Amino acid sequence: MTHGATDQSQPLMIIGWHECISLPDLGLTDFAVKVDTGAKTTALHAVDIETYYQNDQKWVRFLSPDIKGEPSRVLTFPVFTKRAITNTSGMPETRIVIRTPMILAGRKWKIDISLTDRGSMRFPLILGRRALRHHNIAVHPGKSYLVSTKPAFEGNTP
């Protein structure tokens, strides 16, 4: 697929501004996220973020968010890159980015996820537009859970 092309092999999927996704390689399944086309990058709530080397490759260790009432746990993942990302206050910050598969409504593809403390935010993950582009997806700004079921537990633990 060329740069800027859209994957037309899948029919257009219209999603709501809240949906449930899974990040199977992180062991995070079927949890509520906020879809935000105003955000370029997807961001996952993570704390105690530290990098280390394993077999000459840079890895990151972090504490996962509490999802669906499950306690947070230590996750490890290879570092994909570091990127300057503008935070919700409009300030640039350097974040560690991982690349991992995401599942949304039965479709699976790899996305880049920056790690940052989103503890004060309602949702542990904000799904940015880079994760959706080229996948024939449109976001309905007035609807939620068009392709997934609203979970009994939604968002970060209060």
How many Cα neighbours within 13 Å face the side chain of 88?
A: 11
Report pLDDT digits (tens) over 55-91. 999 999 999 988 877 789 999 999 999 999 988 788 8
Residue 45 contacts residue 119 (beta carbons within 8 Å)? yes
Backbone angles phi, psi at 147, to 5 degrees: -120, 5
Domains belonging to the chain, first-starting first, are 13-46+83-140 (2.40.70.10)
Convert the pLDDT of each residue in 117-149 to its tens digit: 998 888 999 999 999 999 999 999 999 999 999
Cα–Cα distance, 82 to 99 (Å, whole number): 11
Q: 99-118, pLDDT tens digit by residue? A: 999 999 999 999 999 999 99
Global pTM reads 0.89
By the 10 Å C-beta count (0-12 exposed, 13-18 middle, 19+ buried), 45 is classed as buried
